[in-house]
Amino acid sequence: MKNSVGREIPEYIESYGQVKPFDGALANYGERTKTSVKLRSVKPGDNKLVETIDEVLDKVGIRDGMTVSFHHHLRNGDFVLNLVMEAIAKRGVKDITVAATGIFKIHEPLVDYIKSGIVTGISVNYIAPGPVATAISKGLLKKPAVLMSHGGRPRAIESGDLHIDVAFIAAPTADSYGNMNGVQGKAACGTLAYAVSDAQYADHVVAVTDNLVPYPACPIEISQDYVDYVVKVESIGDPNGIVSGTLTVTKDPVGLRIAKLAAQVIEATGYIKEGMSFQTGAGGTSLAVAAEVRRFMKEKNVVGSFAAGGITGYMVDMLNDGLFRSLFDVQCFDLKAIASMRDNPKHQKMSGSLYGNPHNRGAVVNNLDVMILGATEIDTDFNVNVVTGSDGIIIGASGGHNDTAAGSKLAIVVTNLTKGRLPVVKDQVTTVTTPGETIDVLVTERGIAVNPARQDLIDKLKDTDLPIVPIEELKNIAERLTGKPEPIEFSDQVVAVVQYRDGTVIDVVRKPL
Amino acid sequence: MKNSVGREIPEYIESYGQVKPFDGALANYGERTKTSVKLRSVKPGDNKLVETIDEVLDKVGIRDGMTVSFHHHLRNGDFVLNLVMEAIAKRGVKDITVAATGIFKIHEPLVDYIKSGIVTGISVNYIAPGPVATAISKGLLKKPAVLMSHGGRPRAIESGDLHIDVAFIAAPTADSYGNMNGVQGKAACGTLAYAVSDAQYADHVVAVTDNLVPYPACPIEISQDYVDYVVKVESIGDPNGIVSGTLTVTKDPVGLRIAKLAAQVIEATGYIKEGMSFQTGAGGTSLAVAAEVRRFMKEKNVVGSFAAGGITGYMVDMLNDGLFRSLFDVQCFDLKAIASMRDNPKHQKMSGSLYGNPHNRGAVVNNLDVMILGATEIDTDFNVNVVTGSDGIIIGASGGHNDTAAGSKLAIVVTNLTKGRLPVVKDQVTTVTTPGETIDVLVTERGIAVNPARQDLIDKLKDTDLPIVPIEELKNIAERLTGKPEPIEFSDQVVAVVQYRDGTVIDVVRKPL
């Protein structure tokens, strides 16, 4: 069948089940249910501290077919997923589904577990290009991977679509009764926001820490009433892999030109205004947009309401400069962000659900004015791909892409028109991650295209000297520069299901031939 | 039938249902279920701000038989319960159950609603002596009132035993999307901790505020993802009724003697030690115990882990003096506590569930070393009554009494041996609120009784010069002083059901003749 972005998807996918096709970004609201939770109540005098991960696996009764979960705030420095999976693998347990909020190169050991059938399922909302993503693309995983968004995952957990048997929460600081935070300890990573739904809904919740502090931990982000066991390990992560170095504005002249154009679009459409809200990623071009927006805000003497998302030192500087009244932080990208979250009450954490879940009573993305997004490919219907590369291999998942696009009033994709001698604007993207109906403007170095559905924006931009062109023209320019690439050929095997944030299927990834 | 504290209770109570008899403080742990939650998801662009309470009642579809909930952090200054109930009453809606965490004298209008059948049910965990408590005692309420504890109420909500149709949350500060806090605004009350379960589990959640701030409120205690509607009213409360004046240590020599003895018991039994935790109420004698404990802690150069409960300025001073590393606050009693919670990260808030719910994965009371409790009556089995007065009329509910008694390692009741020419120690208390198995020591001005079940404490105290006596002797002394009072006579009508924190029935209150 075809879904509403025109993608051909199966009605039923083996090991996934019946497919609910994507039917529009706003099609799936209304009455919702948060599922019930099973737990074992803890008596006065009970001890939660367990000596080893192996002993935890006994306590939770690990067995074939279970789903175990992890969060990715330790990013490419995370040791916890590997430590737990190694202990599981040693027991000969099989058919495990890994529900990780993010997977990085450091998680390469998963590839062997996939090959040996220890891991047969993966659900993930951020995945870095690398060995695990490639193994999935090659069809090594028994069940199709499920690619979600940062808001879609807590939606899935809260609704019961994604049931977690055991949540393992990497805790830079914990006490022996399970109170945790991420702002203290040698593996400090800032907020633990993506793990909040796991703690609330998993059958068993385990804090894994290398910094066991006297009771009570202070501050507390995830509290003891959600935690069954605490286990101390030598190290939960490598600080060098956890935080990025200083993230800086791009120096590339093309990136700077794109950023300048994007900021001019924001200004010309009236979004540089008192109380404005803003989100951007951590890439060099995105930060360059932030730098331009900052300049406009200072010129106009404007104070914004909030900046949100994964937070960098750049956003912290804007907060401290008084350009925003508050930050909503779901993930700290650098040391400055971690310190700010620890010390500044205006730097507020938000759970993944509060950030982007479409089925709660209103996520933060709903209040975003301006969102700056990247793209691997974008088609002439403004559908965006951030999941697959030009060779059809998986290089990412939505992260907050389709959440913020859906929520924000002005969703701008900034990208070079061509990358690696391939066009970014195409007739059809390889994989749809984010529906075009939620993308408002595309900014490239060769011109700006506005979604025809946004006549209000077109009207506001038509008298400016900004290079507004139809998106088809950008496609043509790109193809003239690079030639039209040969289409990638795929087998019928579905290796990954791309869920939209509401749990419908917006696309599938098939195995490249 | 008789429950395990020997109280004769019906097997079935009309308008309450089948009775689960109390069967021991630790009888009811193990596998538990948190119930599912119905909600209406909120789309980008939806507006939550509603003009009037009346309009909110339309939106939530108020109708006969519904349960509406309130929290009591505004105490005797609360306007919200009355405002909402007045609007409900005007519509001719009937058969409403009021699930309030606390009821005060200011809520006297409830009496008329009870008489007219607008309100037919009440559940409450704190109730001040006064018109509503008296109306319940007189049997005016159609259904028996359900008296819970501060931990039992979130247990009831989370398990589904207490289903709330509409939660009205008095919010000293809120933004138009429902983010709230209690530390800012003219009706600042500190934490909103008792309302957290209501926000998480009610079908509809309404923030009622008189201080609507630009989005986002900061800090946020209850967040937008739990809130359907926000309504602004002229005033949510009277600051003079919200916070007490400065709460001070008693000057009464009897109270001071009791406090000194209690502190000596704590010291002699080894609980003045590094990492100790401590809770006491806000009464003059309780604060006097705190003053004595403080002196011992300073003498021994001891730093405690935490103090918990409803927090007074006295506890804030102990935190600031470095005598505790942290506070766990479920309710701020005075301006100093509110300011401290707002400004000091070591002053942590805790939800009612985190405080005392026996059926989560471990409440804070589980980690309490020493708890100082009051009593209206105590019997020779150490069962305590804080629910009914000597005339059988309701004057209170458990609050945190039976939660902290169950969790703490050393639960000490401090009380004058006689009150108002009546003995406090009796063969049988009028109503059991807290089972004797969870009370360790009774301290009076005429002697100290240790629960025989605590041989360890008896051993530690036997070589001190503290006046340790059997509890029966205290009873005899009291009766010699006051005479043995005539037993109160009751009709068969059950006017209130006293639930233990685990939802079993520890006693019932019958209508006095």
DSSP secondary structure letters along A162-229: S--SEEEEEESEEETTS-EESSSSTT--S--GGGHHHHHH-SEEEEEES-EESSSPSS-SB-GGG-SE
State pLDDT tens for residues B396-415. Answer: 999 999 999 999 999 999 99
Query: Which residues from A are below 8 Å from B369, CB to CB?
Result: none
Per the CB < 8 A criterion, the answer to whether A250 and A288 are in contact is yes
Q: What are phi and psi of A226, to 5 degrees?
A: -110, 0
pLDDT score recorded for residue A283: 84
DSSP annotation of A255 reads H
Query: Which residues from A are below 8 Å from B435, CB to CB?
Result: none
A301 contact partners, CB below 8 Å, separation of at least 6: none
Whether B216 and A305 lie within 8 Å, measured CB to CB: yes
State pLDDT tens for residues A206-218. Answer: 999 999 999 999 9
Q: Residue range A109-131: average pLDDT?
A: 97
pLDDT score recorded for residue A248: 82
CA atoms of B434 and B371, how far apart (whole Å): 13
State pLDDT tens for residues A161-194. Answer: 999 999 999 999 999 999 999 999 999 999 999 9
Which of B33, B220, B364 faces A37 most closely, judged by CB atoms?
A: B33
Assigned architecture for domain B48-242: 3-Layer(aba) Sandwich (3.40)
Q: What share of chain B is helix, strand, coil (3-state, %, to 5)?
A: 30, 25, 45
Domains A12-16+47-242 and A253-488 share a fold: yes
Best B26, B35, B41 residue to mutate vs chain A (most A CBs within 10 Å): B41
Average pLDDT, chain A: 97
Which of A398, A488, A478, A473 has its CA nearest to residue A438?
A: A398
Best B28, B225, B340 residue to mutate vs chain A (most A CBs within 10 Å): B225
Q: What are phi and psi of B266, to 5 degrees?
A: -60, -45
> Hey, what CATH class is A12-16+47-242 in?
alpha beta
Whether B362 and A326 lie within 8 Å, measured CB to CB: no
Q: How far does the CA of residue B269 sit from the closest CA of chain A (Å)?
A: 18
State pLDDT tens for residues A248-282. Answer: 889 999 999 999 999 999 999 999 999 999 999 88
First to last CA, chain B: 22
Per the CB < 8 A criterion, the answer to whether A214 and B273 are in contact is no
Using CA coordinates, name the residue in chain A closest to B307.
Answer: A216
Q: Residue range A458-480: average pLDDT?
A: 97
pLDDT score recorded for residue A243: 81
Buried b (16+ CB within 10 A) or exposed e, B393-420: bbbbbbbbbbbbbbbbbbbbbbbbbbbe
Which of B31, B41, B328 faces A360 most closely, judged by CB atoms?
A: B41
State pLDDT tens for residues A399-454. Answer: 999 999 999 999 999 999 999 999 999 999 999 999 999 999 999 999 999 999 99
H or E segment and range at residue A311: strand A304-311
Buried b (16+ CB within 10 A) or exposed e, A439-460: bbbbbbbbbbbbbeebeebeeb
Whether B29 and A37 lie within 8 Å, measured CB to CB: no
CA atoms of B440 and B382, how far apart (whole Å): 8
Whether B361 and A306 lie within 8 Å, measured CB to CB: no
Which residue stretches of chain B have pLDDT < 70? Answer: 244-246
pLDDT at A246 over 70: no
DSSP annotation of B21 reads B
Which of B40, B225, B305 faces A30 most closely, judged by CB atoms?
A: B40
Inter-chain Cβ pairs, chain A and chain B, closer than 8 A: 182
Query: Which residues from B are below 8 Å from A38, CB to CB?
Result: 31-33
Number of helices (H), then strands (E), in chain A: 15, 30
Q: Residue range A318-340: average pLDDT?
A: 97
Q: What are phi and psi of A279, to 5 degrees?
A: -140, 140
Boundaries of every domain in chain B: 48-242, 253-488
H or E segment and range at residue B349: strand B347-349
Q: How far does the CA of residue B193 sit from the closest CA of chain A (Å)?
A: 14
Whether A38 and B41 lie within 8 Å, measured CB to CB: no
pLDDT score recorded for residue A282: 82
Q: How far does the CA of residue B511 sit from the closest CA of chain A (Å)?
A: 35
The fold of A253-488 is: Glutaconate Coenzyme A-transferase (3.40.1080)
pLDDT score recorded for residue B323: 98
Q: How far does the CA of residue B184 sit from the closest CA of chain A (Å)?
A: 14
CA atoms of A121 and A6, how far apart (whole Å): 27
The two three-digit tokens of residue A484, written as one number: 């039209």
Q: Distance of CA A364 to CAs A196, A205, A329, A342, A440, Å? A: 16, 26, 10, 21, 19
* Least confident piece of the model among A283-292, A504-513, B261-270: A283-292
DSSP B401-414: HHHHHHH-SEEEEE
Buried b (16+ CB within 10 A) or exposed e, A385-405: bbbbbbebbbbbbbbbbbbbb
Query: Which residues from B are below 8 Å from A206, CB to CB?
Result: none
